Amino acid sequence: MAFEEEPDCLTASRNFNLKELLSQAPFRWASSGMITERQLLALMGDLESDRVERTESVSDMEKFSIAACAFANDFPDHRQPGFLLVGVNNHGNAIGLKVTDKVLLTLGEVRANGNVLPIPAVQVYKVALSDGSGEVAVMEVMP
């Protein structure tokens, strides 16, 4: 993501320097693999991009597969993972989703259903927001 100036992102009454957060692990695919709530809030508050996709749907396998394919191909050559954020609306707000095992399994099927080849390196997990606004299911795809 190219910035002409270092933007600040105001999310949930907290100021974040998005460029700084995106340059920190695990955005460089650290072994821990899961993003922190702070990093998630920064992704939620930023515009959608070739590394971030937001959706309210918990069952749109076609959308999930397209996002995974785009992130895995990494045509802009970011060499960093892409993030599908399930339970986040187009304004960057959590929709109050309760992430169940079924939601996580549905996201995990993107890796195993054969619609995206070669099989992408995918990690799926949930992040509960401490302000009580809900949970977000995250599908992190390595390029």
Residue that wins the pLDDT comparison between 140 and 50:
140
| pLDDT tens-digit map of 102-132 | 999 999 999 888 888 888 999 999 999 999 9
Question: 86 exposed, middle or buried (CB, 10 Å; 0-12, 13-18, 19+)?
Answer: buried
Q: Which residues contact 132 (CB under 8 A, 6 or more apart)?
A: none
Average pLDDT for 91-100: 95
Spell out where 73-129 has E strands. Answer: 82-86, 121-128
Sign of the dihedral defined by the CA atoms of residues 130, 56, 77, 81, in that order: positive
**Shortest CA distance to 52 belongs to which of 61, 41, 60?**
41
Q: What is the pTM of this model?
A: 0.77
Q: Are 85 and 53 in contact (CB under 8 A)?
A: yes
Is the peptide bond preceding residue 118 cis, with omega within 30 degrees of 0?
yes
